[in-house]
Amino acid sequence: MSENTKQEIKKQLGIVIITANRADTVRVFLEKILEPSCKLGIDVIVFDSSLNEDTKQICEDFNKKGFRHIIYKRYNGSTDILSIDNKVIDAYELYCKSYEYLWLTRDGLAINLNNVYEGISEKLRQKFDLIILDELSRDYKKHGNKIYTDCQKLFLEQCHQMTILGSTILKSDHIQAMIKEVPLDKEKNYGIWQPMAYLTYFAKHKFKAASWVGMLWLPNEAASPSSFWHKRVFWQWGERWYKSISALPNVYDKYKPKIMKFKLVDCRPFSFEFLLKIRQAGSLDISTIKKYKEYLPYVCNTPLWKFYIIALTPIWLIKKFQYLVRNYKYFIKYPQKNKER
């Protein structure tokens, strides 16, 4: 069979859900994407490393109901508590020969597929190499619906967004070469391999990328909050972020200091508010600050003394403070209105 024939039999888009031990979350995700994915002929692959068979059973139940485009795949490769990089790379390698584009996503928010596909279908037909997605309400910098052929501009405007699993759709033609040219490296890109691999690869190769913003996500009522992210924030957005950005090709040097200050509209890892949450989760103490303090001046604008103050504040006091903030309107606003009356 010729290469042209192989290309012809590829499906246009495959969605891969990276998941583990969240069967109910996956079930709701699939329920919300079933109808549009079936109508559009898009396969939804559940790439699972759970410790039980619950997620597999959910997928089989959907298959029995006739939804054959729901595909279950057990991931048995290398795993650790800090990174899903190996799992992401394996998913890319497994499915890049079956689909023209791969969309790897998390399970916590369901995809609003009808709306997204309508918005990006022309971009898929035009064979863009990379499509960056964002929720309309989060695009406060107005970086949506742009075209990028300059890797520096892509880095400056989209690097932070590309760290979110589910925010990028990659043309499969690049995958094998990208994995070969940008292998997983404990120093250079571990923990944040996907966006760093994109940026390293496209610094050396011509590309045409597009950004799209719209109603991207649907709420997933079964998704449960986790303190896992809080526990690794200093490692992820302190040490790993600093080292990964530093290791990118020199073409990005002009903008590296700015990009190191990680900031999204709903994610500011070292803001005062988020540090309180980290402290409450038990993941901020003096030893943590000492371990990562060499990176903190580069990755945030929060002065070091604030880290120490929060680390020394008793957790019970932080909980009390956050309770008062959450109920501010009852303790302050409402009594004041009643007094005025």
| Residues 201, 159 contacting (CB under 8 angstroms) | no
Contacts of residue 277, defined as CB under 8 A and 6 or more positions apart, other chains included, come to: 230
pLDDT for position 244: 98
Task: From residue 225, give the alpha-carbon distance in Å to each of 32, 109, 137, 173, 322.
Answer: 20, 12, 21, 36, 17
Q: What is the mean pLDDT of each run of 10 residues along the chain (341 residues)?
A: 56 97 96 96 97 97 96 91 93 98 96 97 97 94 94 98 97 97 96 97 98 95 69 92 98 98 91 90 93 97 96 90 71 50 49
> Comparing C-alpha atoms, which of 132, 113, 108, 106 is closest to residue 43?
113
pLDDT for position 1: 43
pLDDT for position 332: 54
**CB atoms near residue 66 (< 10 Å):** 9
Contacts of residue 304, defined as CB under 8 A and 6 or more positions apart, other chains included, come to: 289, 293, 296, 297
pLDDT for position 330: 57
pLDDT for position 318: 86
Q: What is the DSSP letter of 140?
A: T
